[in-house]
Amino acid sequence: MIDIPSADAPVDAPRGRVLLIEDEPNIATAIGFLLQREGWRVSTHSDGRTALDAVVRHAPDVIVLDVMLPGQSGFEVLGGLRAGQNGTRADLPVLMLTAKGQTKDRDRAEALGVSRFMTKPFSNRELIEAVRDLARTAPE
Amino acid sequence: MPRSIPTGSRIRERRLALGRKQTAVAGTVGISPSYLNLIEHNRRAIGGSLLSRLATALETDRAALAEDGDEALIEELRAAAGAQQNNEAEFDDAPDLARRFPHWAGLIAAQARALAAQARTIEALSDRLSHDPTLADAMHELLSTVSVVRSTASILAQTPEIDANWLGRFHANLDADSRRLADGAEAVVGLFDRQAARGADRMLPSETVSRFLDDAGHRFDVLERDGVAAVPDLVGGLTGEDARVLATEILTGDAEDASRLPRALVEAADGPDDLIAAAGGDLALVLRRMGVVDPGRGLVICDAAGALLRRKPVAGFPLPVMGAGCPLWPVYTALGQPGRPLTVVVETPDGADWRVHAIAQAVAVAGFGAAPVIRATMLLTRTQSGGAGAPVGPGCRVCPRIECPARREPSVLSTRPDMLDMVDLTGDTLPRS
């Protein structure tokens, strides 16, 4: 678990919860900071194997999921989530991050039912807007 | 396309131009006047050192006398022009170029070959980029780190009021990540350096061996004399263990063939039929020996998959350096009827006729019930048939028979606009076959 100090007072009332599943501590810090500033409550998790338990525990509105995770890849986590394993909500919006940006990664993620796919390096604005869009279209 | 002038006629033309008698020229090169007469009337094949001696005696270049001296070159020039999408009018004068400026033409052909080799290298490298796990990991690490640096740096740039706690943390992260980035970049460069150090020469072992055999005209006098014992010295100079192993296998086969069917018998024979008894009925042996011994004949051997194992080109019948041949070649017909000896006449696109002998037979039989390993062999001999030959080509990429029903891929010689569109200038533009 990565410790993220609380950011400056959010501009708006909390928008909702984001679960960031990412094993790279520095990128988790940066993304966490950005989303918190935008009014999200951000939790982070860094292990693929226990990711679904973390989803159940944190009950997020949006998941930001990295492909390369220790234990279990982001694809497997996504597959488990869409299958409703561990009693997770199968229709949770998922933004997937990958550094590979290859067509086959994107195809695989889309086949598994990803909501949005983003390749590293991304701009901070792109990321914030993507999470905001996903939350807006998410089922109640 | 103009009919090419046979080597014999060129020799005759040159001798008459110099006003020399057959007797005098024959004496200089150490053959009988009647033999020279047969050569001049294209009744005897000529090549090897005799052609070089005749060229010296007639004060000219060997290439100027050899039919393939410019035919092969002209084909390469046409392929080079086609690869660059030039229209027909522009490369119609390739024969002229080859004759008037043989050295420049040779340079163009050599550059086209180098381009083809580079295209293969690029293909291999892009394959490497998508399939090499080490490189993929290194690139993944680089992109991840770039991503953190980008995110963190723009947070710092766009958040002037950031609290000191965060500021310190982001600065520390940037410091660590920029180091990681430098290390990652170094690692990737290192990967490419190692790749480059693996050797500038990227020829496949089969290409290395092919070139080695072609340079020697597929004829090694020491193998005829000393047999298998001569093989290690012959292959010693080849680059690469794989190439040496491949060449050893081929030359060992040649040496064994030579001891089974001695050169004197082969040279005395008028055609393959004369040698069947001496070869103990091994028809493929007869064809291999005639193909290797006689510089005026071509030889092609393929396996059951149609892959060319041996290609000895002959003047006027260019064989593809890479890839498969023309599907209309009798060697493939023979493959469909193992054990049945074929003899047919074929015609190359320039109008030349060739007598082809072909046979497919088992090279190794493991035992009853085991599938035999089949190989097909074809011998090419120049002949005259007055247009009765079945059409064949040199392989689709450089074949001008656009409407051929057996065509497998567009020809680079094509002038049909829809076909030309398929030859992508930035992509696979180079002749492979």
Output B266 or B50, whichever has higher pLDDT.
Answer: B266
Shortest alpha-carbon distance between residue B152 and chain A (Å):
6
Q: Please state the length of chain A.
A: 140
Give me the percent of chain B exceeding a pLDDT of 70: 85
Burial letters for B263-278: b for 16+ Cβ neighbours within 10 Å, e otherwise? beebeebeebeebeeb
Chain B residue numbers with beta carbons less than 8 Å from the beta carbon of A34 are 151, 155
Q: Tell me the C-alpha distance between B318 and A63, whole Å.
A: 63
Q: Do B143 and A29 touch (CB under 8 A)?
A: no
B367 or B197, greater pLDDT: B367
CB contact under 8 A, A26 and B166: no
pLDDT value for B52:
84
Whether the bond into B320 is cis, omega within 30 of 0: no
Closest CA relative to residue B256, chosen from B276, B211, B213, B226: B226
Least confident of A101-115, B60-74, B124-138: B124-138
Q: Kindly state the tokens that stand for B139.
A: 């690139």
* b (16+ CB within 10 A) / e for B373-408: ebbbbbbbbbeeeeeebeebbbbbbbbbbeebeebe
More confident residue, B223 or B93: B223
Cβ separation of A120 and B158 shorter than 8 Å? Answer: no
* Residue B244 one-letter amino acid: R
**What pLDDT does residue B285 have?**
96
The 10 Å Cβ neighbour count of residue B199 is 10
CA A89 to each of CA A73, A81, A116, B345, B419: distance values in angstroms, whole numbers, following the listed order: 19, 7, 17, 75, 54
**In what order do the strands lie in the sheet containing A16-21?**
A40-45, A16-21, A62-66, A94-98, A116-119
Closest CA to B288 of B244, B260, B257, B329: B257
Please indicate whether, in this complex, the C-beta atoms of A68 and B151 are within 8 angstroms of each other. no
CB A30 within 8 A of CB A74: no
Mean pLDDT of B334-356: 92
Beta strands in B214-296 (DSSP E): none
A5: helix, strand or coil: coil
Instruction: Check B146 against A121: CB less than 8 A apart.
Output: yes
Average pLDDT over residues B310-334: 87
Is the ipTM reported for this complex over the cut 0.90? Answer: no
Mean of the per-residue pLDDT values of chain B: 82
Confirm if A67 and A97 have CB atoms less than 8 A apart: yes
Contacts 24+ apart (CB under 8 A), B280-287: B282/B361, B283/B341, B283/B359, B283/B361, B284/B359, B284/B361, B284/B363, B284/B375, B284/B377, B285/B257, B285/B260, B285/B261, B286/B261, B287/B357, B287/B358, B287/B359, B287/B377, B287/B378, B287/B379
More confident residue, B208 or B430: B208
pLDDT for B69 equals 58
Which pLDDT value is given to residue B103? Answer: 80
Tell me the shortest Cα–Cα distance from B423 to chain A, in angstroms: 25
**Distance of alpha carbon B201 from alpha carbon B205, whole angstroms:** 11
- With a pLDDT cut of 90, the percent of chain B lying above it is 32
C-beta atoms of A99 and B130 within 8 A: no
Which residue in B140, B143, B154 is closest to A124 by CB distance?
B154
- The length of chain B in residues reads 433
Chain B interface disruption, residue of A3, A11, A64, A120, most B CBs within 10 A: A120
Q: Which residues of B touch A29 (CB under 8 A)?
A: 152, 169-170, 173
Judged by CB atoms closer than 8 Å, whether chains meet at B144 and A120 is answered as: yes
Which pLDDT value is given to residue B256? 94
Give B175-214 pLDDT, tens digit per residue. 999 988 888 888 888 777 766 555 445 667 887 888 889 8
Over residues B92-118, the mean pLDDT reads 80
Q: Which residues of B touch A (CB under 8 A)?
A: 130, 136, 139-140, 143-144, 146-148, 150-152, 154-155, 158-159, 161-163, 165-166, 169-170, 173, 176-177
| Confidence (pLDDT) at B347 | 92
Cβ of B418: how many Cβ atoms within 10 Å? Answer: 8
pLDDT of A5-54, one tens digit each?
Answer: 554 444 444 689 999 999 888 999 999 999 999 999 999 999 889 999 99
The answer to whether A20 contacts chain B (CB < 8 Å) is no
B287 vs B369 pLDDT, higher one: B287
Largest Cα–Cα distance in chain B? 105
What is the reported pLDDT for B419?
37
The C-alpha atoms of residue B144 and residue A97 are separated, in whole angstroms, by 10
Alpha carbons A76 and A56: distance in angstroms, whole number: 16
User: Interior CA angle at B60 toward B69 and B110, to 5°?
Assistant: 35
- As a whole number of Å, the end-to-end CA separation of chain B is 20
Out of B143, B159, B166, the one facing A5 most closely (by C-beta) is B166
pTM of the model: 0.47
The pLDDT, as a whole number, for residue B420 is: 37
Inform me whether the pLDDT recorded for B354 exceeds 70: yes
d(CA B121, CA B124): 5
Interface test with A, best of B141, B151, B159, B175 (most A CBs within 10 A): B151
The pLDDT of B274-300, averaged and rounded, is 94
Looking at the complex, does the CB of residue A82 fall below 8 Å from at least one CB of chain B?
no
Q: Does the beta-carbon distance from A121 to B151 stay under 8 Å?
A: yes
Chain A residues closer than 8 Å to B181 by CB: none
Using a CB-CB distance cutoff of 8 angstroms, which residues of chain B are in contact with residue A27? 144, 147-148, 151
Q: For residue B123, give both structure tokens.
A: 């293909």
pLDDT tens digits for A104-128?
A: 788 888 899 999 999 888 888 999 9
| Least Cα separation, residue B183 to chain A (angstroms) | 17
Could you say which DSSP state residue B275 is in? G
- Give the containing element (helix H, strand E) for B329: none
Q: Using one digit for the tens of pLDDT, what is the confidence trace for A72-83?
A: 889 999 999 999
The residue type of B99 is R
User: Quick check: helix, strand or coil at residue A72?
Assistant: coil
Pairing of strands A40-45, A94-98: unpaired
Residue B20, pLDDT > 70, answer: yes
Is the CB of A123 inside 8 Å of chain B's CB atoms?
yes
**Bridge partners, residue A84, by sequence:** none
Residues of A in contact with B177 (CB under 8 A): 26
A102 contacts in B (CB within 8 Å)? 130
B82, pLDDT greater than 80 = no
Domain spans of chain B, in order of start = 7-114, 133-197, 204-260
How many residue contacts between A and B have a Cβ separation below 8 Å? 67
Identity at A102, one-letter amino acid code: Q
| Range in B13-27, B205-219, B300-314, B327-341 with the lowest mean pLDDT | B205-219
- Cα-based angle B341, B346, B350 (whole degrees, multiple of 5): 155
Can you give the pLDDT at residue B184? 84
Angle value at C-alpha A132, between A126 and A133, nearest 5 degrees: 85
Q: Which amino acid, one-letter code, is at B352? A: A
Q: How far is CA B136 from CA A26, B131, B132, B179, in A?
A: 21, 8, 6, 20
Give percent of chain A above pLDDT 70: 86
| Domain over B7-114 is classified CATH 1.10.645.10 | no
**Which of B154 and B397 is assigned the larger pLDDT?**
B154
Terminal Cα-to-Cα distance of chain A (whole angstroms): 28
Residue A15 falls in which region: left (phi positive, over 0), alpha (psi -120 to 50) or beta: alpha
Write down all domains in chain A, each with its CATH number in brackets. 16-135 (3.40.50.2300)
The first and second tokens of residue B218, run together, are 């597929």
What mean pLDDT do residues B77-82 have? 79
- Work out the number of other CB atoms within 10 angstroms of the CB of residue B289: 27
